[in-house]
Every structure is written in C-alpha cells, then in structure tokens.
Structure 1
Amino acid sequence: MITPAFELSQDAESLTIAIRVPYARVGEFEVYFEGFDFKFYAKPYFLRLTLPGRIVENGEEDGSYDVDKGIFTLRMSKETPGQHFEGLNMLTALLASKKTRSAKPLVEVTGSSEVPVDCKEDEEEEDFDWEIEQFPYEELTADDLNSQYHYGFGNLRTGVFKRLQEELSDVIDLKNPDSTSPAERRQNRIAAEESKFDPDHYLADYFEDEAIKNFLKYKPWWTVAFAKMMASPEKNQEQSNPEEFQVSFSKEESYQLLKFTNKSYLLDKRARYYVYFGLIDILLAYCYEIRVTEGESNVESPWNIRKLSGTLSWFESWNNVHEILVSFGRRVLCYPLYRHFKLVTKAYVDTIKILQLGRSAVLKCLLDIHKIFQENDPAYILNDLYISDYCIWIQKVKFQKLASLAETLQRTYITKGQLGLEIDELESAALLVQGEETELQVPSSVNSQQVASIDSLTGGAAKSDGVSSVKAEALNGGPAKPADCEGLKTNYLEKNSTPITDSLKFCVKPDMWTCDVSQENPVSSSQSPKASAPLIIELEEKMETDPQSSQQHATLLVDEGKQPT
C-alpha cells in the first residue's frame, strides 16, 4: 500500500482533509471516520490518521474529487464546535495509530542494547511491559567492554562507528567515539579549538567587515514569521498554540515527513536534557549557515553546520545553556570562512525566534538540515544518528517546553571574554596600534609640508644640514611589527581596566535549563546575572537601524546596570 500525500486545515466548525491520489478510480473510494480515527482507502492508496480532536458524522460532511489534480477533499464536522485542533501539520505523528501513540510498550529503540532504567516521558509513570522481546544472553568480549560510551540522539547509540572508521574522519572531529568518554571528548574539543584559532584571520574579519555587515542585514524566513506573530497578539491569545499557524510546509517538506517511521523514545531525565540542549546547539549552527549563505545552501553547507555544532562534530552532551553558547562562539571564531562575534549574537537571536515560533518552525529547520545532509556523502550518517530522530521527536514536544527553552536562552548571556580566546585583548592591542599609526600619520604630513616650505625658502639648505633625512625617519613611523603587539597589548591593559568590546551581555537567573545536568546544581558564579535582562528584540531593531550608536548605548547601559529603553 502507498501512503498518499495529504494536508489538513480547519475552521471553527469543521476539519478538512485533502488527499492526493493520482490515477485512482473515482468509484472505489472508501472513507471511515469516527472520534479520533480517520481511514481512507483507494487502491493502491491507504491512509490512517489519529486526529488531535474528535470529529462526528452528522450529515453535514461533504467530499469532492478533482480529476485533473488527483486530489480528494473531505470536509467533516467537529464534535465540539469552536475547538482548536493542535498539530495538524505534524504529519508523522498523525500517521501513528492511537494505540501506538498512547501505549509505550510499542517502542522502537534503535541502536541500543539495553533499555534505560528511567522509562518516564514528561514525568509520567509507565507500566512495565511484560511482553517485551527477549534475546539470549551473550558474553561480552574485551572489545565490547571498552566501547560502552554512547552518542547520538538521547545518547541511545553505540558501536555505530566500529565498521565505519574510514568514513568517520570525513564526518566528525572525534576519533574512536565508541571508546572515548564524554570528559575526554570535551577536553579534546577545547584543545582542537585553541589550536585552530587564528588571530590574523579574526582581525582581518574584524576590521574588513563589509561582507559581515551584509550578512547581518539579511532577513531569513523566520524573521518575517516572527514579526507576524508579534503583530497580532489579540489573535494569539485566542488560540492555545498560535505559533503553529505562522509556518507552513512545502510539498517537498511534506513528502519528507511521510518518509519517517513513527517512533517513541524512552528517555530518562538526563537524556531529555541532552536532547533539548543538543537542539539549541544544532539550531545555532544552522542559523549561522543560513545567514552567511543568505538562504542559498551550497556544497560547503553540510561542512559548516556539522563543524559549528559540538553536538554533531564531537558528540558533546551539554549540561547547561551557557556552555552551549560558549562552544558555539568559539567554533564560529575558529573554523568557518567568516569569523566575527556579531555573527554569533545574530545566530543567537535567530535561534530564540525559531524556538518562540514553536514546533513547526523548529521542524522546518530540521527538515532543511536533513535535506542538506542527505545530499552529501558521508554527512548522511548524521541524519541517522541525530536529525531524523529530532524530526520525529519534535512533533510530539509540547510548545510550552520550547517556549520555556527560548525564554531561558534569551536571558542567558555570553561575552567575548568568556570564550577563552583572549578576543578582547587582541582587539584592544590591534586598536591601540591602529590609533598610534593614525597619530603618527597626521604630524608626519604636517612636518613634511613644513620641511618642503623650508627647502623652498632656503634653496635646499635644509637637506644639506641633514634635517630632511632625520625628520623623515623620526616622523614617518611605519606600521608596528607583529612582534611588537604583545608589548603594546600589555601596556594597554595596564592603563585600561575595561577592554573595548562590542558584545551585548544577556543575563539569566538559574532555572531548570541553566542547572548543570551532571551535578544538578546551578551554573558557576561566573555565569550568574549582573544586570536585568534587556529586551533582545528591541535592541536588535535598534542595532539594525544604527548599529554603532545603539550598540554603544546598550553596552553602556549594561555596564551601568540599567535596563535599556
């Protein structure tokens, strides 16, 4: 049987389903619907949906078939008029039967040889599955005992790369993931970033930032959707999940959803944290890629996304939101073609908007990542490990969870100094050298004119006295050599306690997302709030209007501990 393409829409009184069944016979349709169940059959097409709300057969239903387009349209009445059905664009979740959606025993946990101890989802109690499939016990070999470290979505995979070692180096930076502990992964990642950081490349992008400015002006699709959502607050209050209707899927994206196999995931509390935090990390990398390519992906797009994400390139398991931002900021300044801190903050703002738009926006981004990876060999392996599962899992996530995650991300701050790459000191030294060169160039031109006038009056006597050669050597100071930068940097830092920076500080009070998952404690005091959180969207609009003055104003307000207005 073939699962046809379909779309659902609704109004206050009814639900409409449009099913594309080309080349089917008009007289051989069979339709059944009652309560949450909807079934459609037209050989060779079969469609079974579990609806998010109840429908009823009351004689007011009607259907039609467009022969030219091959689309069957059926309109059915809602059992409770005025009820809003949530998640009508979550096609993979709708295809699951009611029993599969509600009964956790029918669970497919791929790539894992053991069932997690805590089989709770959203803190709900589960009954033990007495019919779970059993396998004969096999003694583990020494190699198996050394490869018990997990990775992938929810850390549910292990042993995947035992036979893919050759392809591994082209996909991720981590070597031997099956035998590398999470602590070793993080240590190796940080060491690799520090060795990769190039001060010359960073300063080149810092001073020659014309291309960066163009990227910052680009408006991706979620910016428009977010503006529409914010422009109609009255309408949003009337709907339980308003953000779902700000984003729509293309036909290609709908086909992608139909190809996924519906699954349920047994994730304990810690694994759920890892999944949510990994989602932030992946979205940050994707937002950077979309901005620097202005929405047109190219052959470098798979490399950019997986390289900027510590989750995808090092199989990192994050403990709080702040360390995700630090890792992303470091990787942006170490690896891609364009390395500028403003691109970090812009991707940060974009990720917040996507999360606030809800499941549809997040799913749309994940589908695009899935497509980018699927068309690249061997990046498709990351789809099997992460992205496909994220596409299925996100369809069942409550939008309140994403809203809470977005709020925490919005109130978490990151500065250049927290990246551990001495960015502030590097910029300060470079600006100091630039300032001294400017000061030397001004008197040089003036004194050159004075010398020229003396020469004209004395008939060249000044040159015979050696004035010209001495003045020229003393006044025309050339650019400082790289070896002199360290001394200039040290002198500057001794005189100026506050380094020059163009970063915005966003603060957060400890909550469920900022607690260290490994220790269940709030993050360290170095990440604690120092000022009330600014309005991020308002600051962003001001920065787009007048980037320099608005940025200086916001930084000054943060330094003074005030709230921007």
Structure 2
Amino acid sequence: MITPAFDLTQDPDSLIISIRVPYTRTSEFDLYIDGTEFKFYAKPYFLRLNLPGRIVEDGREKAKFDIDQGLFTIHVPKQTPGENFEGLKMLTSLLVPKGSRSAGPLVEDMSRDGEEFDEEFDWQVEQELYRESSEEELRALQKYGFGNQRCGVFARLQEELSDVIDLKNPEGTSVAERRQHRLEAETAAFSADHYLADLFEDDEIKGILKFKPWWAKLRPSTENEAKYDVSFSSEEKEQLRKFTNRSYLLDKTSRHQAWCSLLDILLAYVYDVRLTEGEHSVESPWTIRKLSGTLCWLETYGSLQEVLVSFGRRVLCYPLHRHFALVSAAIQDATKILQAGKACVLKCLLDVHKVFRENDPAYILNDLYITDYCIWIQRCARLEKAQLKNVSLMLQAHCPDADTIKGLQGFLWFLSLSFPPPKHPHFLKTLFSIET
C-alpha cells in the first residue's frame, strides 16, 4: 500500500490532519481513532500515525474532501482540551509503529520450527515518508490523461492500475512506443478461429444489431428543431453538481487530440451499450476500457482515421462478439450521438463515469479522463455548430455498408497483420492499414 503525503496542525481543542490522496474513491474510506493511534485507509492509501498526545472519537470529529487537490482534512478532538501536541513536524517519527521506537534485529529466524501460519494483514506494516517529485523529474516523465496534462500518477499507483491499463511503463514510454506496443498486442491477441466463428455463426450478432439504444429514439426538440431533446436523470444532475468548474488551456494540437480521444471513448461506450442492450454488466468496465486505446494504452490519436483503425482492430481482437458489423453499428451510433449535440455527448460521458465509479480500480480512469471530459464538453461554446457537425459528417463518409463488410473483411485482416493491403474500398483500407 501507499503512504500518502500528510501534514499535521492543531488548535486548542483539535488535531488537524491533512492527507493528500489523489486518484482514490472518496466515498470509501475508513478511520480508526484510539488514544495515541490514528489510522486512515482509502485504497490504495494507508496511513498509521503514533501521536504524541491522546485523541478521542466522540462524535465531534469531522472530515472534508477537496476534490480538486485530492485532499482530506480531518479534525479529531483532543482528549484533553488545551493540551499542546509536540513534535507534529517530525513526520518520520510519527510513522513509527507503537512500541517500535528502537531498532529491530538485523537477522530474524523465520523458520518457526517448520510450522506454517495463515497470513493476516499486518497493520504495523512499515511506512515510508512520501516524497513529492521535483519539477525536473516531472518534466522528464511522459504525459497522458485528458489533454496530455498528467504525469507521475502511475509511478506510485502502478500495482493498482495493472488491472486497468495494458501499458507496463507509462511514465517512461513515448507516444510512438505506446502505439507500437499496442499494435503488437493486438496482432498477438487476434484469433482467426474466434473471428470466423462469429462471422459465420452470426445469429447473436443479428440480435445485437436489432437493438435500438436510447439515442436512436431521440426526437428533435420542440423549441429548436436543430437540437435533440435530451433529459438528465436526478442522479446525473447530482453528479453534475459535484463536478468543479475548471478551465482548460489546450493548444490547437491538444484540442485536436482531445476530440479524437473523445470519439475513441464514445465508440467503446456505444459498443458496450449495444452489447448489453442498455443494461451494463459486470464486464462493462472491462469492455469500455479494453476497446478504447485511449483508456487502455493511453494512446494519443492525431486523426479520425487513426481512431477508427484502432477501434476496428480492437473489436476484432478482444470482446466476446467480434464482428465487423458491430464496428459499423458503433460508428453509426457515435454519428447519431454527435449529431444530437453536446447534451447527448455529456449524457454518454456521465454513464461512462458511473460505470467506472462503481468499479475498483477502473474509477481511476475517471480522474485521468472522464471527469475532465464531462466538464470540458459543457464549456465548448461552439461545439454544436462546427466540431460535432464536421466529425459526424466524416464518420458518415467512413462508415461501410453491409455488402462491403461481408465481402473483404476476413482476407484484408490477415493481410493487414504484416503489410498494407492492396487497393480496395476506402473504409476497409483505412481500417486494416498498419499504423505507423
């Protein structure tokens, strides 16, 4: 577990403990208060303090969380009001477990005469004082997250995030290396037998394609025919109120990449909605992040073509149902959502946020991407006029028809694994060309 950064101050009646825990689920944390011991747990963070004075848990304790800074501030009553706790700046000594003020033996016999005992969690686990990375160290790290504005997150959370992302060393892997590793992983994951089975035994696929998701049922607003009537549930409105109002300073390149990654996430989302017929399953967090190169490999896309190629390849490599018709349906669904405007896009993002929020440890992807997208999309004033219209028109131009899908897909896939395919319809050439 990770020892978080922390600081202690006091007033005459209380001890004030500030704990920095970015990328954690704020709804799930535990406190333990007993005499001179204080323990805090919020996965993956654990803090145990051996205090110089006694504190009590009597109902007066209180805690608040600053979501922007990832900072818990906890006020704990002193057992003796007015007592001055000395040594609160000696952070390292506060981490020493109770009764462990002296050095232990250099060598300890662990044999126990051959007896074996069930392992239990060690609440006296050794802790190390958190050290903030310097600006020079942070500049040397690779960027990722919304607008490529984050770095250093995985340096301390790699073990926790190994079940979320497939990239092994995000801090030291360049954009080009990430893409190369992703392509190699997709090539290794492709199963010809699975692909052909879905191609010829497609009864389930046909059922999935008949499903009408909620965005397909949208009607133009009575107030403005150019807009669609999108409503938000009380739960969605409550989540919107919880978001903080932020500003994003993105240059032209970063904005373009943000749009590409948004489309990538939407494509993965609509695939899952169609697959589960609108009722997300326990596999939904895995499906959404696995089909999105942005979420799974921290990919940075530079064009619509790159997004579609990546999504098409991943659909044919990873999920239970691997059929090109599902790629086409997802593109059509994404086109409909973009045409419906930013309210429709926001509703989709809120749904993704909920799926990840309720899953451990996929919720971290909300902090890296989805929360920022939910806020940013609301602040795009020109969104409905230009960007969405252009993207949706480009998607329509790239979307293949059923006859094209049925004809060349299998052959061209195998060709694309090793070299660019010969001349053929535009979309298939786009989807199956190896990215460089």
Q: Give distance in 2, aligned partners of 1:206 and 1:345.
A: 14
The Cα shift of 1:279 comes to 0.6
Encode CA deviations 1:180-225: one digit per residue, 9 max, x unaligned.
Answer: 1000000000000000000000011111111100000000010011
- Verify the 8 A CA contact 1:333 1:341 in the aligned structure 2: yes
Encode CA deviations 1:110-146: one digit per residue, 9 max, x unaligned.
Answer: 89xxxxxxxxxxxxxxxxxxxxxxxxxx9656x5464
Q: 3-state SS of the aligned residue for 2:398? A: coil
Question: What corresponds to 2:254 in structure 1?
Answer: 271
Q: 3-state SS of the aligned residue for 1:175? A: coil
Q: Give distance in 1, aligned partners of 2:139 and 2:401.
A: 42
The Cα shift of 1:498 comes to 9.4
Match of 1:384 among 356, 359, 367: 367
Q: Give distance in 2, aligned partners of 1:156 and 1:406.
A: 27
Question: What corresponds to 2:390 in structure 1?
Answer: 404
Q: 3-state SS of the aligned residue for 2:232? A: coil
Match of 1:184 among 177, 182, 187: 177
**Residue 343 of structure 2 is aligned to residue 360 of structure 1:** yes
Question: What corresponds to 1:287 in structure 2?
Answer: 270
Match of 1:250 among 195, 213, 233: 233
**Residue 313 of structure 2 is aligned to residue 330 of structure 1:** yes
Who wins on radius of gyration, i.e. which is larger?
1
The Cα shift of 1:407 comes to 1.6
Question: What corresponds to 2:243 in structure 1?
Answer: 260
The Cα shift of 1:415 comes to 9.7
The Cα shift of 1:176 comes to 1.4
Q: Give distance in 1, aligned partners of 2:315 and 2:144.
A: 23
- Verify the 8 A CA contact 1:110 1:157 in the aligned structure 2: no
TM-score (norm 2): 0.62
Question: Structure 1 residues 426 and 349 mapped into 2: Cα distance closer, same or farther (>3 Å)?
Answer: closer
- Verify the 8 A CA contact 1:263 1:392 in the aligned structure 2: yes
Q: Give distance in 2, aligned partners of 1:262 and 1:212.
A: 42
Encode CA deviations 1:438-462: one digit per residue, 9 max, x unaligned.
Answer: xxxxxxxxxxxxxxxxxxxxxxxxx
- Verify the 8 A CA contact 2:199 2:323 in the aligned structure 1: yes
Match of 1:155 among 115, 130, 148: 148
Encode CA deviations 1:499-553: one digit per residue, 9 max, x unaligned.
Answer: 9xxxx85699xxxxxxxxxxxxxx9xx89xxxxxxxxxxxxxxxxxxxxxxxxxx
Q: 3-state SS of the aligned residue for 1:261? A: coil
Encode CA deviations 1:365-403: one digit per residue, 9 max, x unaligned.
Answer: 000000000000000000000000000111122211222
Q: Give distance in 1, aligned partners of 2:400 and 2:138.
A: 41
Question: What corresponds to 1:555 in structure 2?
Answer: none
1:86-105 to 2 correspondences below 5 Å:
none
The Cα shift of 1:175 comes to 1.2
Aligned-residue RMSD, C-alpha = 3.4
Question: Structure 1 residues 339 and 351 mapped into 2: Cα distance closer, same or farther (>3 Å)?
Answer: same
Q: Give distance in 1, aligned partners of 2:198 and 2:344.
A: 31
Q: Give distance in 1, aligned partners of 2:343 and 2:155.
A: 36
- Verify the 8 A CA contact 2:324 2:409 in the aligned structure 1: no
**Residue 299 of structure 2 is aligned to residue 316 of structure 1:** yes
The Cα shift of 1:428 comes to 11
Q: Give distance in 2, aligned partners of 1:352 and 1:158.
A: 32
Q: Aligned pair count?
A: 293
Provide structure 2 residue ranges, at least 5 long, that are not aligned to the other structure: 1-66, 71-132, 416-420
Q: 3-state SS of the aligned residue for 1:246? A: coil
**Residue 161 of structure 2 is aligned to residue 168 of structure 1:** yes
Q: Give distance in 2, aligned partners of 1:428 and 1:317.
A: 25
- Verify the 8 A CA contact 1:413 1:505 in the aligned structure 2: no
TM-score (norm 1): 0.48
Query: Aligned AA for 1:329?
Result: G
The Cα shift of 1:242 comes to 3.5
- Verify the 8 A CA contact 2:332 2:399 in the aligned structure 1: no
Q: Give distance in 2, aligned partners of 1:415 and 1:315.
A: 31
Q: 3-state SS of the aligned residue for 2:299? A: coil
Q: Give distance in 2, aligned partners of 1:311 and 1:334.
A: 16
Match of 1:395 among 364, 369, 378: 378
Match of 1:194 among 168, 187, 192: 187
Question: What corresponds to 2:352 in structure 1?
Answer: 369
Q: Give distance in 1, aligned partners of 2:414 and 2:161.
A: 40
Whichever structure has more helix as a proportion of its residues is: 1
Provide structure 1 residue ranges, at least 5 long, that are not aligned to the other structure: 1-107, 112-137, 430-492, 509-522, 528-565
Query: Aligned AA for 2:226?
Result: P
Question: Structure 1 residues 146 and 352 mapped into 2: Cα distance closer, same or farther (>3 Å)?
Answer: same
Q: 3-state SS of the aligned residue for 2:151? A: coil
Identical-pair percentage: 56
